[in-house]
Structure 1
């Protein structure tokens, strides 16, 4: 069924009143998304949101067929969370508006706990989940004794709440925070664990993943539109490395047919994405129209191929993206809207 030429979506990002008043598709950092949607016959308009604009934005979204969302879980500028936005998105979704990424899907995919829930898939690694501070205090020292660990808050972005922790003598640890940009520092283990108390506020867990020794060989970001790979990004990441390892490199983007990553593409499309969706009880047609999975290199396979270790999935504010990805995003959006229109017409 063809999508109506009158179908419209809003593209939503965080901003204040002046930013909302000044927002234009052609001058937005997401201009390539607006253009790709237009090529698919979908009208799109900006929807700049902040907590004090919620009612106004709600009225705007209720007049749309869909809304595509670019808002981080935690603002790197202010630390603000998006609880009010998630409530708004659930409201408009219940009213029949297509939302991507829906907050309920983000709560399953776009959190660090996905590493624990999918740890037995081929992309998995040694991962523990601490539901509360007592379980963390009871189990973390023993896990730390087995080797370097990476602790991760369940929700975050931009390296917020990610620590590389190396045990020194059983009583002290060397800690490097991913977002700090500074050198590692040494603190008593008890002090470090006490500082984590706040991370459990609101019932959120902490995720504990074994440090990957090949991290200096580069990270591959796999961009996905729905259940199809839309491109790749490759970067040498130094966020958890020492100063002697030099700075991180810019991420270099490439299309889905990049020959370096065809094995990863095949694994994602034929195995890992379907397995993840099944494990997390996510219907494939509700997967985000754009999301990404970050992989570090794991041990070589017996055949000499690289293995891949999942270290994060991002669903909330995936941008920038490869030049080919906006078209994949737009086509996925078109298909989702057409399917919803067909269901509505047949109801």
Structure 2
């Protein structure tokens, strides 16, 4: 065993600091080095794939991917192929493409829409024809949220409502809306609002469907999002903290990102014990529905408040993230040391020698 872990990044992207790294990358690397293990950053480029495979497979026991899928040059297909090849060569992957696709893809919500975690009318569009045929009907039932599979920090997540409130009140649910219907579209990245025609807006959104792993998730707008989104951050199986992200007040604001002016407050898991317990109880169901219980290294589950049939508070799952969860704002909590410890323990568990065979 080399006792070495490589951390993958890509060059450029809005998630980089002036040193070219994500702000949470070097803290992870340094935390691994502090244990006596070796770690370094390797940048991925498609044209370097073969050389990267040779170097990494010969010198490292595991990889940690700190790559935002939206920033991968040439798309994520070649990068995922490299990670799969490294896993097949015996490296411990954190997270593997399978985990990222199972837990991190937005259509994880659709696979859970027959559970109590997600509204049953949550759907996904994998081709533009289905999107154009179905979304005008879906929108007739009320406000919707469209979520692209790529991107981060609210990019390509749109709150969609009819601009004419009188029209919205008179629409017959299930009747397709005309393509010239005026929409009010608010993007979560910064809460900016655009007035667009339905047909033109759908054509604009086609870009989210076309390409590697492209899709759009269509979900009911949860009105209590204005009270905040509740995120559980986990390292492995352990909840580390819960952050309550409250959107900026006013207008049609619904984004819970720092970039949009949302206010964050941090709590221990114990402060949200009911939610944490509910999620822990649901995790076997989530694993079954998503095709496996390979727990990501760093991941989050985001919830919104809703009302049950009796008017009591309940929680609706809005998203699971594991491709490249950032924790820059929480470095003073020592999460990077936890990440390093769990990563090393996974390598040691997988690489530990088998017990000797007992001969008769």
TM-score interval (norm. to shorter): 0.7 to 0.9
Indicate yes or no: 2:27 matched with 1:32. Answer: yes
Moved more, 330-339 or 97-106: 330-339
Inter-CA distance 281–315: structure 2 relative to 1 (3 Å threshold): same
Shift of 1:66: 0.4
1:163-312 equivalences under 5 Å are 163-167=158-162, 168=164, 169=167, 170=177, 171-179=181-189, 181-182=191-192, 184-202=193-211, 204-238=214-248, 242=252, 248-257=261-270, 259=271, 261-269=272-280, 271-282=281-292, 284=293, 286-299=294-307, 302=310, 304=312, 306-312=313-319
1:11-60 Cα offsets, whole Å, 9 max, x none, are 222227xxxxx9899x9643432344346554322223333443443233
CA distance in 2, matches of 1:114, 1:150: 15
Inter-CA distance 9–273: structure 2 relative to 1 (3 Å threshold): same
Counterpart contact for 1:219–1:235, Cα < 8 Å? yes
* TM-score, length of structure 2 as denominator length: 0.80
Please name the residue that 2:173 is paired with. none
Indicate yes or no: 2:349 matched with 1:339. Answer: yes
Shift of 1:319: 1.4
1:127-156 Cα offsets, whole Å, 9 max, x none, are 122232222222212221111000112333
Query: Secondary structure of 1:251's partner?
Result: strand
Indicate yes or no: 2:330 matched with 1:320. Answer: no
Please name the residue that 2:128 is paired with. 133
CA distance in 2, matches of 1:334, 1:179: 35
Please name the residue that 1:19 is paired with. none
Counterpart contact for 2:190–2:255, Cα < 8 Å? no
Counterpart contact for 1:166–1:174, Cα < 8 Å? yes
Query: Secondary structure of 2:210's partner?
Result: helix
Counterpart contact for 2:234–2:300, Cα < 8 Å? yes
Indicate yes or no: 2:55 matched with 1:60. Answer: yes
Shift of 1:244: 11
Query: Secondary structure of 1:192's partner?
Result: helix
CA distance in 2, matches of 1:264, 1:243: 25
Inter-CA distance 265–41: structure 2 relative to 1 (3 Å threshold): farther
64, 67, 73: which one pairs with 2:69? 73
Indicate yes or no: 2:164 matched with 1:154. Answer: no
Counterpart contact for 2:301–2:320, Cα < 8 Å? yes
Say what the alpha-carbon RMSD is for the aligned residues. 3.2
CA distance in 1, matches of 2:73, 2:63: 24
Please name the residue that 2:170 is paired with. none
Counterpart contact for 1:295–1:309, Cα < 8 Å? yes
Shift of 1:192: 1.5
Moved more, 327-336 or 93-102: 327-336
Counterpart contact for 2:247–2:254, Cα < 8 Å? no
Counterpart contact for 1:231–1:324, Cα < 8 Å? no
1:52-88 Cα offsets, whole Å, 9 max, x none, are 443443233211010111100102xx98633332121
Shift of 1:256: 3.4
Inter-CA distance 234–80: structure 2 relative to 1 (3 Å threshold): farther
For structure 1, the residue ranges without an aligned partner over 5 or more in a row are: 17-21
CA distance in 1, matches of 2:348, 2:113: 35
CA distance in 2, matches of 1:275, 1:157: 26
Matched residues, number: 328
Inter-CA distance 268–130: structure 2 relative to 1 (3 Å threshold): same
1:193-241 Cα offsets, whole Å, 9 max, x none, are 2323333323633210000101111111111122221222222235996
Counterpart contact for 2:225–2:254, Cα < 8 Å? no
* TM-score, length of structure 1 as denominator length: 0.82
Shift of 1:181: 4.5
Inter-CA distance 110–238: structure 2 relative to 1 (3 Å threshold): farther
Indicate yes or no: 2:98 matched with 1:104. Answer: yes
Moved more, 50-59 or 120-129: 50-59
